[in-house]
Amino acid sequence: MTATTDTPPEDLRDRMVDHIAEAGHLRSATVERALRTVPRHLFVPDATVPDAYANRSITIKPGEPGGRPASCISVPTVVAMMLDQLDARPGHRVLEIGAGTGYNAALLAELVGDTGQVTTVDIHPDVTEHARRALDATGYDRVHVVTGDGTLGHPDHASYDRIIVTVGPWDLPPAWLAQLALGGRLVVPLTWRGQTRSVAFIKQEDGVLRATDSRLCGFIPMIGDGQDGERKIRIAEDVDLHFDPDQPIDLAALHGVLDREAVTVWSGASVAPMESTDLIWPRFTGVEPGTCRFAAGNTAVEAGLCNPAFKYSSPALVENDSLAYLTLRGLEPNATERRFELGATGHGPLGTDLAERLCAVIRTWDHDRTAQPVITAYTAGIPNADLVDGQVIDKRFVRLVIST
């Protein structure tokens, strides 16, 4: 049902776009125009109109009880961010993996115009049925809606100038690379070393994908071949590590590691409340092969077992029977603001060394907080001698190299 409201949908839509701009996620006039044009509330008819224009995701297909949704409409700021990365232009042929409500496909149709083409693919028939109805009802019947496995892309309309993925893959399937035109752009919320970032890859003349722009995000995990790669182990009550299969992380070696003496090292770098630290994590992945995600619940933190900077998602380093994770502490407030110093807490025989190494990367980040690592994706099987310098992350279909 769509609840009544005293504020017209057009005004709520303008407020939504104004908020996105104020948050710094709206850098393109064409994306702004599309966001102010497409009636988002008509793609989520079971939501109230105010909720449709709030800065939150809306579930359209629940998942397993107690688990994540199977499909949703993404947070507007994330939608704008990824469209900015995609840079879709009039006449472009665009493939979208993950149809959702059809809202993002409508925005893409606005961006590519009547001379362009948009194809959106989803594995759930009820999701594509919803998207088809919503697109037809709002005048975007020219969008092609396909029910199928998104990991296979859609070869019928290839090659594509742009591919955008609106579900969260762990790997890059060969079909996406094959169906992307040379010089084309792939925007994908890729997971590696426990974090997920929206990466804007450009296909080079040699077929390699290269990215100099990645931004923090979170998405529903993708269903399909090769997409269940991330591993998780419980190292203590209410404390988990998330990592990749190519990392030699051994649960038995880490047994009881948090019961060992904690050593905390401080970096000297500080942040204000709500100030972003998200580029620290990809920097770690370009320097340290043992980077992973440290996730602690309330029980572990309240019991004093650990004190991560961000309870459920802090970068950590693991080596043999030792680990260190990102932490912080409040500093004495000055006349204008409160600040928090970043540091690292280590446990185990190598705990101090790992904490020092974490702090070294934090200090490098502090010197230039906007610097991004270069992310290069090669097809699996490419020998090391043919890779650029950097940390290599081996997945099933690709070899990622993170270069700082």
Q: What is the DSSP letter of 304?
A: T
Cβ-based neighbours of 255, under 8 Å, separated by 6 or more: 235
Q: What's the half-sphere exposure (Cβ side, CA atoms, 13 Å) at 192?
A: 32
Q: Among this protein's residues, is 74 annotated catalytic? A: yes
CB 345 within 8 A of CB 333: no
Would you put residue 282 in left (φ > 0), alpha (ψ -120 to 50) or beta? alpha
Look up tokens 């609840």; give the residue: 3
Buried b (16+ CB within 10 A) or exposed e, 253-280: ebeebbeeebbbbbbebbbeeeeebebb
CB 217 within 8 A of CB 81: yes
User: Catalytic pick from 71, 74, 267, 314?
Assistant: 74
> Which of 115, 22, 117, 29 is closest to 76 using CA atoms?
22
Q: State how far the Cα of 269 lies from the Cα of 275, in Å rounded to an integer.
A: 12
Q: How far is CA 201 from the centre of its chain?
A: 14
Cis check for the bond before 314: say yes or no (omega within 30 of 0).
no
CB 391 within 8 A of CB 292: no
> Is residue 32 within a helix (H) or strand (E), and if so which, with residue range?
helix 29-37
Active site (catalytic) residues: 74
